[in-house]
Amino acid sequence: MLRIRDAQLHALDAVNDDKRAAAIVERLYVEHPGRVVGHEREQVRRRVAVALQRARAHGLHDDRDLRAFGLLSVVVSERFDAHPPFQRLLSDPAVPARAKLARLFQEATDADWQAAAALTSRSDSSHDVP
């Protein structure tokens, strides 16, 4: 029987996240150029990679959810998930990981998105890519 250890799974996740981050960056330059034009692609990729780590910390593992989280971290705000209603939902162990982003999109109001967009990086006063 083939046995895959946690360390091997984490290594596979890291490789997949590198590829995922690159794909997200390409999508950002095509679909949301105003958020990334003028910034080095590597800088944008690092920001997306950090967002993917946060997404995994929230229990997200589905490719679609990880990609959405990475996009939101640039399109909305690097810290969108720190908005209290979003943070409560994403950290709620009673909500299955596969349902978290779907519920976030269903339950978020325009005011929630505006408040999340106002959250800025601790090191940068704008919510565009640092």
Residue 55 lies in a domain: yes
Q: Side chain identity at 34, as an amino acid letter?
A: G
The two tokens of residue 123 are 């090191």
Residue 54 has pLDDT above 80, yes or no: yes
Residue 47 lies in a domain: yes
Residue 129 lies in a domain: no
What are the tens digits of pLDDT across the range 92-122? 999 999 999 999 999 999 999 999 999 976 5
Residue 36 lies in a domain: yes
Q: Side chain identity at 91, as an amino acid letter?
A: S
Nearest one of 14, 71, 15, 13 to 47, comparing CA atoms = 71
- Predicted model pTM: 0.82
Contact 49, 25 (CB under 8 A): no
Residue 112 lies in a domain: yes
Nearest one of 79, 58, 66 to 27, comparing CA atoms = 66
Residue 124 has pLDDT above 90, yes or no: no
Please state the domain count of the chain: 1
Residue 69 lies in a domain: yes
Q: Which residue has 């409560």 as its token pair?
A: 88
Residue 123 lies in a domain: no
Query: What is d(CA 4, CA 112) in angstroms, rounded to the nearest whole number?
Result: 41
**Cα-Cα-Cα-Cα dihedral sign, residues 94, 81, 67, 113:** positive
